[in-house]
Amino acid sequence: MNEVRSMTTPDWLTQHDGSLKLGSDGKTYVLLAGQPYYSLIEVPVAGKFGCAIRQTINGRRLDSQRTFATKHDAINGGLDDLRKALGWG
């Protein structure tokens, strides 16, 4: 079972009319006003996990330099990096 399925949408995202959705391609999509604006996917990094974040409309990457012990933590870390990049607290 994919660890991301059990994730709940963070408060900061719901405050901006956002939600999370697990895509059939294994990516976690950040939806804003019902539209997929960002995709997040856990990636292997030196025996741990990182998070690749992309804007869906143009493919632009938001690099995250952190690594995590689990896939779930990597997605949460990616969400935190996205929040900071968007200037949402």
Give the residue carrying structure tokens 């950040």.
30
Distance, in Å, from the CA atom of 43 to the CA atom of 16, rounded to the nearest integer, reads 27
Distance, in Å, from the CA atom of 46 to the CA atom of 50, rounded to the nearest integer, reads 9
pLDDT of 2 above 60: no
- The structural domains of the chain, with segments of one domain joined by +, span 3-86
Q: Are 30 and 82 in contact (CB under 8 A)?
A: yes
Q: What is the pLDDT of residues 33-76, one digit of tens each?
A: 999 999 999 999 999 999 999 999 999 999 888 999 999 999 99
Q: How many CB atoms lie within 10 A of CB 2?
A: 13
Comparing 81 with 1, the larger pLDDT belongs to: 81
Q: What is the pLDDT of residues 18-44, one digit of tens each?
A: 999 999 888 899 999 999 999 999 999
Distance, in Å, from the CA atom of 24 to the CA atom of 21, rounded to the nearest integer, reads 10
Distance, in Å, from the CA atom of 28 to the CA atom of 41, rounded to the nearest integer, reads 6
CA atoms lying within 13 Å on the CB side of residue 18: 23
Please indicate, yes or no, whether the overall pTM of this predicted structure exceeds 0.85. yes
Question: Which amino acid, 87?
Answer: G
